[in-house]
Amino acid sequence: MVGSQGLLRGALAWEQSDRPPVLFTGGIWAGRLSGFSRDRLLDDASALAEAQWRVHELIGQDALLAYFDPLFIPEAYGCELRFLETGPLVAPIPLTRFADQAPSVGDGRLPVVLEAVACMAARAGGRIPVGTLVEGPFTTLSRIADAEVLLRLTITDAAAVDAALGRMTEMLLAFCRAAAEAGADFVFVADPVASATMISPAMFGRFALPALRELCAGLSIPVILHICGDTTPILADMAGSGAAALSLDQCMDLREARRRIDGRCALAGNLDPMTLLMGTPEEVVRETRRVMEAGGNRGFILMPGCGVPPGAPFQNVAAMVRAVREG
């Protein structure tokens, strides 16, 4: 039987398999389940790694992700972080301050995440893929400089946005390369602000895509790229970003997406996170089977359409993984 590492590698290489690998993002969900306090999960790499292991031992998902929230990068730039019931939020800083304070991989919580990668990779021993998660350059910059400010600047001073995106991409590359050195097998890049529901396809092609291309091209490990919402108008561009797989939202038709992408990269998705949050385990199993059928057994990773909601019942996430593993 092919193990988790083989399943993920095979899916990313567009190979046929008996079942798709199943994985999910949801650092806060896994953290809550672990019973560790938020402060420990933010500061203590062994707790962060242990939280993912506990979930894996209970549920058996095919990959582990070393992260709690994706905002450790803006935080390392000096943005203040607040945790609300709905998730973490950052207070933006002026772009002028951003220019001269690029953090290194030794700043903020970056060493904690990198150490968690190393812990998890050592324990996984190559059997289970270990990844980490960052937000894409455009989204990260919009968190740091404020989305509205950034979107206005794309019109009034495109050169300043290009320069800032260039520096942002360099910083993310440095972090992701350090994660690869620590043992990460892949990077999950979420770029929600680059969504076609947030910016026009032309703006995506002009600003977000070149930065994503640079990020993917600069890494020796594969990237799974997630962009929220209806990505139909930018799907062809996303397929040309250099990402090994595109993770799509639940509103997307996987068969149609596959047709448009035409074998250029793998697909991941797209079980409705609301079913995980509000549904019964039986409904989750039905939804998982529907998605598996749409995704097929080649170049496909089963995931929720977005992250696992922090309040999703354990039984529902377990039912999703079990339905995939049992076929």
Q: Which is nearer to Zn ion, 103 or 137 (CB)?
A: 137
Q: Which is nearer to Zn ion, 5 or 132 (CB)?
A: 132
Alpha-carbon distance 258 to 267, whole Å? 7
In the range 117-176, which residues lie near Zn ion by CB under 5 A?
none
Question: What minimum distance in Å lies between the beta carbon of 249 and Zn ion?
Answer: 6
Q: Which is nearer to Zn ion, 50 or 69 (CB)?
A: 69
Q: Which is nearer to Zn ion, 24 or 186 (CB)?
A: 24
Mask 295-324, x = binds Zn ion (CB under 5 A)? Answer: -----------x------------------
b/e per residue 274-283 (b: at least 16 CB within 10 A): ebbeebebee
8: which residues sit within 8 A by CB, 6+ positions away?
21, 23, 62, 63, 129, 185, 186, 301
Confirm or reject binding of residue 105 to Zn ion (CB under 5 A).
Answer: no
Cα–Cα distances in Å, from 34 out to 25, 128, 268, 323?
Answer: 15, 19, 26, 23
Question: What minimum distance in Å lies between the beta carbon of 305 and Zn ion?
Answer: 7
Largest CA distance in the chain: 56
Alpha-carbon distance 216 to 324, whole Å? 29
Look at residues 261, 162, 249 and name the one whose alpha carbon lies nearest to residue 214.
Answer: 162
Question: What minimum distance in Å lies between the beta carbon of 221 and Zn ion?
Answer: 21
Question: What minimum distance in Å lies between the beta carbon of 247 and Zn ion?
Answer: 8
Residues near Zn ion (CB under 5 A), total:
2
Which uninterrupted H or E stretch holds 133?
strand 130-135
Q: Which is nearer to Zn ion, 190 or 321 (CB)?
A: 190
In the range 205-264, which residues lie near Zn ion by CB under 5 A?
228
Q: Which is nearer to Zn ion, 55 or 228 (CB)?
A: 228
Q: HSE on the CB side for 54, CA within 13 Å?
A: 16
Alpha-carbon distance 144 to 126, whole Å? 35
Question: What minimum distance in Å lies between the beta carbon of 228 and Zn ion?
Answer: 3
Question: What minimum distance in Å lies between the beta carbon of 325 and Zn ion?
Answer: 24
Q: Which is nearer to Zn ion, 164 or 193 (CB)?
A: 193
Question: What minimum distance in Å lies between the beta carbon of 270 and Zn ion?
Answer: 10
Q: Which is nearer to Zn ion, 70 or 183 (CB)?
A: 70
Q: What sign does the dihedral 140-144-149-152 (CA atoms) show?
A: negative
Alpha-carbon distance 249 to 24, whole Å? 13
Look at residues 110, 171, 168, 105 and name the one whose alpha carbon lies nearest to residue 139.
Answer: 168
Question: What minimum distance in Å lies between the beta carbon of 119 and Zn ion?
Answer: 27
Give the dihedral of Cα atoms 81, 82, 87, 90; nearest 10 deg: -40
Question: What minimum distance in Å lies between the beta carbon of 272 and Zn ion?
Answer: 12
Cα–Cα distances in Å, from 168 out to 78, 137, 142, 163?
Answer: 14, 6, 11, 9
Q: Which is nearer to Zn ion, 182 or 228 (CB)?
A: 228
Alpha-carbon distance 83 to 76, whole Å? 16
**Contacts with Zn ion, residue ranges (CB under 5 A):** 228, 306
